[in-house]
Amino acid sequence: MTTQQLYEQIQQKKSFLSVGLDVDLTKIPQHLLATEDPIFEFNKAIIDATHDLCVAYKPNTAFFEAYGLKGWHSLEKTIQYLNQKHPEQFTIADAKRGDIGNTSAMYAKAFLQDMDFDSITVAPYMGKDSVEPFLAVKDKFTILLALTSNEGAFDFQTKKVDSVELYKTVLETSKTWKNSENLMYVVGATKAEYFTEIRKIIPDSFILVPGVGAQGGSLREVCKYGMNDKVGLLVNSSRAIIYASSGEDFAEKAREEALKVQKEMEEILNK
Ligand SMILES: O=c1ccn([C@@H]2O[C@H](COP(=O)(O)O)[C@@H](O)[C@H]2O)c(=O)[nH]1
């Protein structure tokens, strides 16, 4: 998918919502535990109930890796289901990878080529040669962690190195890397006040914004400072949507929550 196609989806659906698929077997409805693949059944029901309200799905791989081989199998089934039934959805493997070059190339192969996700989240800490193998994959996106939503973001990311905040150096430097047109960035919704500065450095890039919903970030604040003329934002919510109910009505309630966010997005887009 190209960013133009993503923008067209946003316009069509009046939504820039990404639904996070962070499946925890202790939180999903009991009746699903009797099925052969509860994680996939849960994801499938959530996708079926919400796909017209969002433009992206973001499975966080930790929630699959935690269940070993079975979990990997559920992740593969989930991405296959999305690619076959909803190819218009932008898919994000929230895996936060990044290693020496030949290892990063294997991560890129696994997530962007074999599993065929549209994008993967990558940590910038190991620098250019750890990120460029992801950027080399044609027609795919590398979503670089810039300023994360957690408290620990202040430990390093906002610290000054040579009088410039580290997250700003990450943004500036990454623009010089080969195939940097394939970059998007992660900035947490809990850091809305930073978006003005961030947009000065990356005015046109898409930004994946986790941290609304369960983490308390404000959608309106993020949009006020972070939106560009092509929207340029994918705002993710995971727990607040997928765990809206732990009963048999979980998919229906997830839809209700997603609809609330979509309506707020529609209002913002119409302004
Ligand atoms: O800075 C970051 C980067 C990634 N995440 C991930 O996004 C979701 C958020 O889930 P919620 O339930 O909506 O809080 C989750 O997968 C995180 O690992 C993030 O929160 N912040």
The CATH number linked to 173 is 3.20.20.70
Residue 271 annotated to the active site: no
Question: What is the per-residue pLDDT across 101-124, written as a single tens digit (0 to 9) for each?
Answer: 999 999 999 999 999 999 999 999
Confidence of residue 245 (pLDDT cuts 50, 70, 90): very high
Among 215, 222, 234, 261, say which to mutate for ligand 1: greatest number of ligand atoms within 8 Å of CB.
Answer: 215
Task: Dump strand ranges (E) for the chain.
Answer: 17-21, 56-59, 90-97, 119-122, 141-147, 160-161, 164-165, 183-187, 207-210, 233-237
Number of domains comprising the chain: 1
pLDDT score for 258? 98
Confidence of residue 164 (pLDDT cuts 50, 70, 90): very high
Per-residue pLDDT, averaged over 48-62, amounts to 98
pTM for the full predicted model: 0.98
Catalytic hit among 44, 70, 77, 96: 96
List, as own/partner pairs, every contact residues 106-113 make where C-beta atoms lie below 8 angstroms and the sequence separation is at least 24, other chains included. Answer: 107/133, 107/134, 108/133, 108/134, 108/136, 108/137, 108/140, 112/137, 112/140, 113/137
**Residue 237 CA to ligand 1 centre (angstroms):** 8
- 240, 245, 249, 250: CA torsion to nearest 10: 50
Q: Provide the pairing of β-strand 164-165 with 160-161.
A: antiparallel
Q: Which has the closest alpha carbon to 146: 118, 183, 110? A: 183
Per-residue pLDDT, averaged over 28-54, amounts to 97
Instruction: Give the range of the structural domain holding residue 153, as residue numbers without chain letter.
Output: 3-270
Confidence of residue 54 (pLDDT cuts 50, 70, 90): very high
**Residue 203 CA to ligand 1 centre (angstroms):** 23
pLDDT score for 236? 98
Confidence of residue 186 (pLDDT cuts 50, 70, 90): very high
> Which residues approach ligand 1 with their CB closer than 6 A?
20, 22, 60, 94, 148-149, 186, 188, 210-211, 213-215, 236-240
**Residue 239 CA to ligand 1 centre (angstroms):** 9
Confidence of residue 16 (pLDDT cuts 50, 70, 90): very high
Task: Dump strand ranges (E) for 106-172.
Answer: 119-122, 141-147, 160-161, 164-165
